[in-house]
Amino acid sequence: MGLVAQARSVVAYASRGRPPWLLAMRPYYVTTPIYYVNAKPHIGHSYTTVICDVLARFHRLEGRPVHFLTGTDEHGQKIERAAAERGLAPIELADQVVAEFRSLWERLAISPDDFIRTTEPRHRVGVEAIVRRIAAADDLYVGLHEGWYCTSCELFYTEKELGETRECPIHASELEWRSEENVFFRLSKYQQPLLDWYESHPGFVKPESRFNEVKRFVEGGLRDLSVSRAGLEWGIPFPDHEGQTIYVWLDALTNYISALGFGHEPPGDELWHRFWANDEADVIQVIGKDILRFHTVYWPAFLLSAGLPLPTTLWVHGWWLKDEQKVSKSRGNVVRLDGLIEQFGADPVRYFLLRDMVFGQDGTFSDEAFIERYNSDLANGLGNTVSRLVTLSRRAFGGRTPPGDCDDNPLMRQAAEAVEKYLQAMDACQFERALRALSGLVGETNQYLVEREPWKLIQQEEKRDSLSRILWNGLEAMRLVASALLPVMPGVGAAVLAAVGAERPESWDDLAWGGLGVDRELPESAALFPRIDKEKYLESIAASETDVEEEKDPMISIDKFFEVELKVATVVEAEPVPKSEKLLQLTVDLGDEQRTVVAGIAKQYEVADLVGRQVVVVANLQPATLMGIESQGMVLAASDEGKPVLLHPDSQVPDGTRVR
């Protein structure tokens, strides 16, 4: 076997011990959690989704049939309240936020095969099917449910779990005491079956530290779980239990299989049989550590009860932190990536997310860290090395790749090692290690060039062969780096491949040394990554008002407050908005003009009681269209647990009077 062929087989498969023909057949299913639609997406959601996208792209390149699912979790009290606070119907809020998610995924080059919304009929079919199977296993009963409830987690906590503070351990928010009749799931019955499953499936939860945490929790004993809520309107009705709605987590977790057509008649369930109910398939579910218990205890218990197969692996990642706290809307410290994507494109952002966080551990976001990573690995590292090699080759060989290849040199051996490390690390979801292996190879390529000084050989005719070999080796190393970067940076990977005159790999077999052609056209390429002046960049973002500050509730000056024009107005007409339970269309008189304003007060106020009444209106608000009606302002109301209570002046004043 020649060196090239040998390297090819050694590098591509030896480390993983699976023959290519088997890999080519085995389906690969990867899922993100489905995201709540009560707020815009932020860095945490982006991180989970980018990871799944990278896994999907990696395994597609491995030649496996891949199905990558993401979506949104739209039922439950949290969404119902968030919608009420904005004067919207829950589905209207969901539609708006889903559009934000879809747009962000597009801008982040995310390539899902499917996007499921729990408000879709196909999902409901799956949920009803799993509930019927759980009921048939005699795992449901009705009982009284009492405890401290967090509406953000949608979870009851015991006194023991809370300690003295009575605050939610995840959201640090106040809890509510609740007592109601619910349908319960016999979770306690599954303590031993779960422990047995963990024992016989050592790769079920990764990393190991999280698996141990789960085992300890289950060994500590499992209490039955309430799986319905009384009096919750926004959800799926519980089959055979009138007045009860399916608990959002039982509803949400089922998305992973309802999206595949579980519960549907053939052929609607084809994906289900291919990607889940199939021993050959790998089912990989990526989650953050905050939803560990739901996915590693409740979810497998539901599946065991329903007699359905369990996923292969739950991969658990840590949190992005800012100011030492989890980035989240409820903590008010969100980090959005929109600005970075707009300025740098999707790829550097994707690279940063995977490179600056050790998968499984927490990581801290800062703009400074982003710029440093961008400059060191991308602008100075990959970008400079590629541009140097391309410029030299073009000059020496008339705008073409070097005429002679080379299959015995130190760079080749370093490349083989880097590729092997990369493949192993990707298999183990150690993205930061995988990317370090690639930037290590870029560094070694640079070192190789510095030691051989090809720029000095250009004028020496007798050194043409050695110049050809040196440059070809450098370009070939960059071809390998660019190919391996494709799952993480699909655009940049393709651009570098084009820049070095190489083809896109057809499979990971092509990560063997020797794939770059000789004497190929090498077009002049634009700079891949312009270097960024860190200080200037940081100054510029400090000066601009960022999203982060907007969400922090900063103190505002009196001038800023006066920018909001609050005026007294009289309601002259009021009528319900068709097809909406919550919205009313009001005509209000502001003294010198009349306006249409849509308000989410239909449940609390009768139309007849509103006409003639004075209210306070935000008069300089940008118009917004709600259920097809343009609202030219907003009526002020106090929000009492989401229920609006209108504000009005203490005594009659002329319409149009300013409120300050």
Residue ranges in contact with ligand MSP by CB under 6 A:
33-36, 44-45, 47-48, 73, 252-253, 255, 287-288, 290-291, 319-320, 326-328
Pick between residue 247 and residue 508 the one whose CB is nearest to ligand MSP: 247
> Closest approach of Cβ 265 to ligand MSP, in Å?
25
> Is the peptide bond between 267 and the residue preceding it cis, with omega within 30 degrees of 0?
yes
Q: Which amino acid is at 484?
A: A
Which is closer to ligand MSP, CB of 35 or CB of 190?
35
Q: How far is CA 387 from CA 379, 470, 577, 621, in A?
A: 10, 15, 61, 50
Asked about 560 being catalytic, the answer comes back as: no
Please, which residue, 302 or 472, has the CB nearer to ligand MSP? Answer: 302
Q: Which of 42, 145, 317, 421 is catalytic?
A: 42
Cβ 290 to ligand MSP, closest distance in Å? 5
| CB of 640 vs ligand MSP, minimal distance in Å | 25
Which of 52, 67, 150, 322 is labelled catalytic? 150
Element (H, E) at 599: strand 594-599
Q: Is 168 a catalytic residue?
A: yes
Residue nearest to ligand MSP (CB): 288
Task: Specify whether 171 is catalytic.
Answer: yes
Q: Which residues are paired to 435 by β-bridges?
A: none
From 52, 153, 406, 429, the catalytic residue: 153
Q: Which of 59, 67, 78, 168 is catalytic?
A: 168
Residue 30 near residue 286, CB atoms below 8 Å: yes
Shortest reach from residue 97's CB to ligand MSP, in Å: 10
Phi-psi region of 269 (alpha: psi -120 to 50; beta: other; left: phi over 0): alpha
Residue (of 320, 328, 330) closest to 370 by Cα position: 320
The reply to whether 317 belongs to the active site is no
For 37, residues 6+ apart whose C-beta sits below 8 A from its C-beta are 72, 73, 74, 79, 93, 94, 97, 98, 101
CB nearer ligand MSP, residue 73 or residue 420: 73
Least CB distance from residue 339 to ligand MSP, whole Å? 17
Which residue, 57 or 336, has its beta carbon nearer to ligand MSP?
Answer: 336
Q: Known catalytic residue: 45? A: yes
Q: Which is nearer to ligand MSP, 118 or 401 (CB)?
A: 118
What secondary structure letter does DSSP report for 173? -
Task: Round to whole Å and give the CA distance between 611 and 658.
Answer: 21
Contact between 238 and 183 under an 8 Å Cβ cutoff? The reply is yes
Q: Which residue is catalytic, options 78, 123, 145, 171?
A: 171
Crossing angle of helices 77-85 and 90-107, rounded to 10°: 100
If the CB atoms of residues 114 and 581 are measured against ligand MSP, the closer one turns out to be 114
Nearer to ligand MSP, 254 or 632 (CB): 254
Q: Identify which of residues 341 and 646 has a Cβ nearer to ligand MSP in the complex.
A: 341
Q: Give me the least distance between CB of 334 and ligand MSP, in Å please.
A: 9
For 553, counting Cβ atoms within 10 Å of its Cβ (0-12 exposed, 13-18 middle, 19+ buried), the class is exposed
Residue with tokens 């595949």: 260
Among the listed residues 215, 329, 463, 648, the single catalytic one is 329
Annotation marks residue 406 as catalytic: no
Output the smallest distance, CB 41 to ligand MSP, in A. Answer: 8
Query: Distance between CA atoms of 545 and 329, rounded to whole angstroms?
Result: 18
The residues, any chain, with a CB within 8 Å of residue 420's CB and separated by 6 or more, are: 10, 11, 14, 15
Report the amino acid identity of residue 411: L
Least separation in angstroms between CB 29 and ligand MSP: 15
Whether the CB-CB separation of 303 and 69 falls below 8 Å is answered with no
Chain length of the chain = 660
Structure tokens at 59: 């395994």
- Distance in angstroms (rounded) separating the CA atoms of residues 417 and 410: 11
DSSP 516: S
What's the closest the beta carbon of residue 253 comes to ligand MSP, in angstroms?
A: 5
| CA distances (Å), origin 478, targets 45, 335, 412, 496, 501 | 32, 33, 11, 8, 11
Hey, is 135 helix, strand or coil?
A: helix
Cβ 356 to ligand MSP, closest distance in Å? 13
Q: Say if residue 207 is preceded by a cis peptide, omega within 30 of 0.
A: yes
- When the beta carbons of 365 and 397 are compared against ligand MSP, the nearer one is 365
> For residue 46, what are the CA distances in angstroms to 34, 353, 553?
12, 9, 23
Catalytic residues, by residue number, are: 42, 45, 150, 153, 168, 171, 326, 329
